[in-house]
Amino acid sequence: MIEKFGIPPELIIDFLALMGDKVDNIPGVPGVGEKTALGLLQGIGSIEKIYQNLDKIPELSFRGAKTMSKKLEAHRADADLSYTLATIKTDVPLDVGIEEIQQQAIDKEQLKSLFTRFEFRSWLRELDANAKNAGSIADTTSGDDDSVPPAPAEIHYDTLLTRGALQGWLQRMEQAERFCFDIQTTSADYMEAQLVGIAFSLEAGKAAYVPLSHDYVGAPDQLDLDTVLGLLKPLLEDPQRPKVGLQLKYEKNVLARYGIDLQGLAYDTMLESYVLNSTATKHDLDKLADFYLGQQTTQLEEFAGKGKKQLGFNQIDLEQAAPYAAEVADISLRLHQTLLAKLEREPQLLELFNVLETPLLPILAQIEQQGALVDA
């Protein structure tokens, strides 16, 4: 207390009484601020001693000391009241004893009821610590629409470093009703972002990452960027192939700079979440995965660092980058499956998503790429 305020603990009440505290509605003495209050307390002592030695105040060195005695004398009632208000009352009669307010054993059923009512999903999962997976608490939620889907029984992510491996995934994507993809870049600014890799997912728990320009020392040989984009271009530009993605507008803008006109923007998971419930949670991947899937995602900062020292994705070792990128595609697909099922139970919201919001994506992307004419 002496180090922080310049006075010992026993004078804190006097300090607050002299200068007041607007937050706690303590008026204090008019004209006395922090420096004046400290000058009085350090020079003379407590409020009681100050009022016993008003004649000594002009001898103190703080600014305004010569006229402070008259102010204090004129506002003694304010000082007395402020001292009372600043003093914590320790003799309040209570109808419970210390034994009755000891922490008791947790009432799990009551907590589960409260957490369910207020949709504290993370706390629900913590409460059900022995569950085999997040889906085991689905029966505690209010209705099927609020249930957390079970996690995939198996997670398998591929890193595609050969043309043959990529061709195998392309064939499966060409046969799929829809597929999810996500790009990893060097920047969140689509006008500056350089493509580092592309991830795909066709079913929950399975995804692949194609590294294209990881350039750290010792990075393995990777497929040629132009070759990969050439193979993907027909699929990505086909409007009859519905695409799922986390931020499809961003991906469309980045790919446009590589000569690819991304078509079939059917299911943007962030947009699905926003249309379903704009205020339920934030719409980034981490928050959506926790809220709707009951899953904690891998944090990029764990291996890339934070702030100015954060590594670009192209500088991250593939052993860490590939599973991370694949997980983003996998989680995005699983979010889409969960969110679309919820939207389908709300016909008006589904119509809003399909008729207004989704068709607007490419229009906004075009405006962002080209700008808009303004009549000065």
Q: Note whether residue 376 is domain-resident.
A: no
**Taking 70 as the threshold, does the pLDDT of residue 292 lie above it?**
yes
Compare 104 and 266 and report the one with higher pLDDT.
Answer: 266
CA distance 338 to 207: 17
- The per-residue pLDDT for 172 is 94
> Residue 250's closest CA among 372, 364, 334, 371?
364
Q: And the tokens for 241?
A: 């192939």
- Tell me how far apart the alpha carbons of residues 137 and 144 are, in angstroms, rounded to a whole number: 12
207 - beta bridge partners? 157, 201
Examine the domain organization and report whether 290 and 213 are in the same domain. Answer: yes
Residues 78 and 173 in one domain: no
What is the C-alpha separation between 146 and 144, in angstroms, rounded?
A: 5
CATH classification of the domain holding 17: 1.10.150.20
Of the listed ranges 143-147, 206-210, 267-271, 272-276, the least confidently predicted one is: 143-147
Number of H helices, E strands in the chain: 17, 6
**Residues 288, 180 share a domain:** yes
Confidence class for position 233, pLDDT limits 50, 70, 90: very high
Question: Domain boundary residue among 95, 124, 146?
Answer: 146
Q: Quote the domain boundaries for residue 24.
A: 2-86
Q: Which residues pair with 198 in a beta bridge?
A: 183, 210
Same domain, 80 and 138: no
pLDDT of 146 reads 54
The domain boundary residue, chosen from 146, 179, 198: 146
pLDDT category of residue 99 using cuts at 50, 70 and 90: confident
* 28-71 per-position pLDDT tens digit: 999 898 889 999 999 999 999 999 999 998 888 888 888 888 88
Q: In the structure, what pLDDT confidence band is assigned to residue 257 with cuts at 50, 70 and 90?
A: very high
CB atoms within 10 A of CB 25: 9
**CA–CA separation, 60 and 57 (whole Å):** 5
Q: Report if residue 41 sits inside a domain.
A: yes
Of 11, 5, 81, which is closest to residue 45 (Cα–Cα)?
11
Would you say residue 98 lies in a domain? no
321-367: pLDDT as tens digits: 999 999 999 999 999 999 999 999 999 999 999 999 999 999 999 99
**One domain for residues 312 and 178:** yes
Residue 61: CB partners within 8 Å, gap ≥ 6? 39, 43
pLDDT at residue 108 in the model: 85
Examine the domain organization and report whether 82 and 117 are in the same domain.
Answer: no
Domain membership flag for residue 186:
yes
What the block records as the tokens of 144 is: 């099927």
Assess whether 44 and 142 both reside in one domain: no
In terms of domains, do 214 and 323 share one? Answer: yes
The pTM assigned to this predicted structure is: 0.62
Residue 302 lies in a domain: yes
Do 183 and 292 sit in the same domain of this protein?
yes
Q: What is the mean pLDDT of the chain?
A: 88
280 vs 155, residue with greater confidence: 155
Q: How far is CA 26 from the centre of its chain?
A: 37
Does the residue 60 lie in any domain? yes
In the chain, the amino acid numbered 308 is K
Indicate if 169 and 51 belong to the same structural domain.
Answer: no
Does residue 258 sit in helix, strand or coil? coil
What are the tens digits of pLDDT across the range 145-199? 456 778 888 899 999 999 999 999 999 999 999 999 999 999 989 999 999 999 9
Task: Give the pLDDT score at 144.
Answer: 40
Q: Domain of 208: which CATH number?
A: 3.30.420.10
Handedness of CA 160, 211, 191, 284 (dihedral sign): positive
Residue 259 pLDDT grade (very low, low, confident, very high; cuts 50, 70, 90):
very high
Q: Is the domain of 113 the same as that of 15?
A: no
Overall number of domains in the chain = 3
Whether residue 136 has pLDDT greater than 70: no
Q: What is the DSSP string of 277-297?
A: -TTSS--SHHHHIIIII--PP
Do the domain assignments include residue 14? yes
Reference 267, options 241, 245, 289; nearest CA is 245
Same domain, 235 and 365: yes
Residue 375 counted as domain residue: no
Residue 139 scores a pLDDT above 60: no
pLDDT, tens digit (0-9, with 9 covering 90-100), for 209-222: 999 999 999 999 99
